[in-house]
Amino acid sequence: MRYSSLALLRQGIAGHGGWPQAWRSAALQPSYDAVIIGGGGHGLAAAYYLAKLHRLRRIAVLEKGWIGGGNTGRNTTIVRSNYFFPQSVALYDFALRQYEQLSAELNYNIMLSQRGVIYLGHSDHDMETMARAVNAMQINGIDTELLDAAQVRAEVPLANFAADARFPIHGAFIQRRGGIARHDAVAWGYARAADGLGVDIIQNCEVTGFRIDNNRVRAVETTQGPVAAGVVGLSVSGHSGVFAGMAGFRLPITSYALQAMVSEPIKPALNVVASSWATGMYVSQSDKGELVFGAGLDLYPSYAQRGNLPTTQAIVAAMTEIFPPFRRLKMLRQWAGIVDVPWDYSPILGPSPVGNLYLNAGWGTGGFKATPAGGYFLAHAMATGGHHPISAPFDLSRFARAALIDEAAGAGIAH
């Protein structure tokens, strides 16, 4: 929907009470041609592409809570495509290119800010590893550059450049097309566009099981009753393993809590997304002025959607060692999300062992940046029964074929 400047002004003066709902509150129907489980960014994007590109009708997205309330609303919004292997670059750069035109496509401002993502190196070893990574990325066509310490100082002047710093800065590498995007807006933009194409978005509808017959899902059981489904897409982030169990197979993933936090808002202090390879700490400044930061996984398998104090302490320690002025900031809040991490840190996409059940799983700590790709390739698999060439290397069968795509370092913070 488009509004004239006068209509916008009237809404502002009248207290914003007159906006129409951005998507319908649809009632669950007894059957659909396609059912997507999980109303995060990926599930909503899949519904949108199924309706838009594959012209499917009678599509439902089933979400146990509210849309975007899972990891889509809990992540730290970093987008980038600086991965090591060509298969990963094809996947994540496809997503980044979608992001670059998504506000226009959805007519919804996703607030993409390509301010650059910089990785600080703290030792000769870091710099050698970075040189190798940058070479691989450049061969794959990704816009990455190595920077020396003087160039890094121009990008992050508040960092600690003292020679005796605990994490001295030897150099860095940067992807300038990387940055951040507003996570909620990505979910809401896809939701509104999917709804406009007739998709039913059903919130407060938990999927509790499958009715499987002859190796096909005939219906999904929900807290609002059973729903017959022609084809089913699984897009439940940290709960993929639970669903695989319901469907009678196992996925090679482990689920962990990943936490992040924000400070009070301050004036502009950091122009790029800054990350430290050795500590896993990363930080960016939100449009409201808060510093948003986090680090690696608490490597204790868990479904408890909360962080813990020792991990918080380690993250804050790394952040304040590297950016001493941030020691004075007050912390506002801290949270966590459950992420499902495959053995090779790459996602699992496409067909599952159950005939008409398709997977969009295993995005681990890095799936926000891939939201348009996860949705696009899940829709492709559900509509065609097979893979798009970009998603094919990420098939579940790679674990049986020993064709792993080991992106432990590319995953940014998962190592």
- Token pair, residue 239, equals 């709960």
Total interface residues for ligand PYC by CB under 6 A: 10
> Residue 294, interface with ligand FAD (CB under 6 A)?
yes
Longest dimension (CA), the chain: 67
> Residue 365, interface with ligand FAD (CB under 6 A)?
yes
Let me know: does 352 contact 252? Beta carbons within 8 Å: no
- Judged by CB under 6 A, the stretch of 83-91, 99-107, 314-322, 364-372 that binds ligand FAD is 364-372
- Judged by CB under 6 A, the stretch of 73-81, 169-177, 185-193, 311-319 that binds ligand PYC is 73-81
Alpha-carbon separation of residue 269 from 157, 163, 192, 266, 312 (angstroms): 9, 23, 34, 8, 22
The only residue of 72, 76, 276, 352 in contact with ligand PYC, by rule CB under 6 A: 76
Q: Please, which residues bridge with residue 171 across strands?
A: 121, 148
Among candidate residues 411, 413, 179, the one with its CA nearest the CA of residue 318: 413
The 31-70 contact track toward ligand PYC, x by CB under 6 A, reads: ----------------------------------------
> Residue 240, interface with ligand FAD (CB under 6 A)?
no
Q: How far, in Å, CA of 374 to CA of 348, rounded?
A: 10
Q: Considering only residues 280-339, where is the footprint of ligand PYC by CB under 6 A?
A: 282, 294
Contacts of 248 (CB under 8 A, 6+ apart): 212, 353, 354
Q: Please, which residues bridge with residue 262 across strands?
A: 292, 333
Q: How far, in Å, CA of 366 to CA of 410, rounded?
A: 10
Name the binder of 40 from ligand PYC, ligand FAD, none, CB < 5-8 A by kind: ligand FAD
* CB 341, min distance to ligand PYC, A: 12
- Judged by CB under 6 A, the stretch of 2-10, 74-82, 85-93, 217-225 that binds ligand PYC is 74-82
Let me know: does 117 contact 80? Beta carbons within 8 Å: yes
Contacts of 147 (CB under 8 A, 6+ apart): 118, 155, 171, 172, 173, 174
Compute the radius of gyration of the chain from its Cα atoms.
Answer: 21
The 335-354 contact track toward ligand FAD, x by CB under 6 A, reads: --x-x---------------
> Residue 71, interface with ligand PYC (CB under 6 A)?
no
* CB 30, min distance to ligand FAD, A: 18
- Judged by CB under 6 A, the stretch of 230-238, 329-337, 342-350, 363-371 that binds ligand PYC is 363-371
Grouping H, G, I as helix, E, B as strand and the rest as coil, residue 413 is coil
Residues that bind ligand FAD (CB under 6 A): 37-43, 62-65, 69-72, 74-78, 206-207, 235-237, 239, 258-260, 294, 337, 339, 363, 365-369
- Contact residues toward ligand PYC (CB under 6 A) are 76, 78, 80, 282, 294, 365-366, 369, 412-413
